Amino acid sequence: MGQNPVVWALGIAAIASLGAVTFGGRLANGVGMGEAPRAASVTASPALNRASEPPATPYRSAEPPTLTVAADYRGHFVVHPSIDNFRVQMLVDTGASLVALTARDANALGLRPSPGDYRMTLNTANGTVKGARVTLREVRLGSILVRNVEAVVLPEGALSMSLLGTSFLAKLRGYEVQTGRMILRG
């Protein structure tokens, strides 16, 4: 067997096929493609079904949707939620009472408070600043959706990146930080 390359190649192919059949199900479950996914809603692709199996039906999990975010090299959790269908880069800040938007992000979202709207006094790490209170219709982060989120728009230069504060986080079922990652539960 060792001297005939065709027999050797067929033996390797047989071992690889056996490994794929044996461990394929475990791998699919490990990456969330198994029969009972943990996501909020998953529909299997008909192309993945065997010909003898009926098409898969949507699976609704009783568990709330979760999202795991890895910390960046500084230990910060940076996310890219969709706010009213516009993607924004934000820093998760459990010490911020409200979602805080930079003037630039607010402008991109169509939020343009007038100078008289900046009535809310905020105490920040950089001192006191005036902000304009707004309500965000919906904030979507992965499969987590939160509606009617209280936020504040800060004036130009007051903030370098928008903050995802506790006015969003408090509407979740929970969140936790462990070993360089944050787990959010919708």
Range of 155's domain?
66-185
- Check residue 89 and give its pLDDT: 97
By the 10 Å C-beta count (0-12 exposed, 13-18 middle, 19+ buried), 106 is classed as buried
User: Is residue 81 located within the same domain as residue 22?
Assistant: no
Structure token pair of residue 165: 């504060």
What is the domain count for the chain?
A: 2
Q: How many CA atoms lie within 13 A of 105 on its CB side?
A: 30
| Boundary residue ending a domain (17, 45, 60) | 60
Residue 19 shares a structural domain with residue 93: no
- Residue 19's pLDDT is what? 47
Tell me, yes or no, whether 40 and 75 share the same domain. no
Residues in contact with 186: Cβ distance below 8 Å, sequence separation at least 6, in sequence order:
40, 64, 65, 66, 67, 143, 144, 145, 146, 172, 173
Say if residues 161 and 99 touch (Cβ distance below 8 Å): no
Q: Which residue reads 């009972």 in tokens? A: 36
pLDDT tens figures, 101-147:
999 999 999 999 999 999 999 988 778 999 999 999 999 999 999 99
Q: Are 11 and 94 members of one domain?
A: no
Name the maximum alpha-carbon separation found in the chain: 86
Write down the pTM of the prediction: 0.66
Mean pLDDT of the chain: 78
Instruction: In whole angstroms, give the CA distance from residue 57 to residue 18.
Output: 29
**Residue in 154, 139, 147, 159 with CA at minimum distance from that of residue 67:** 139
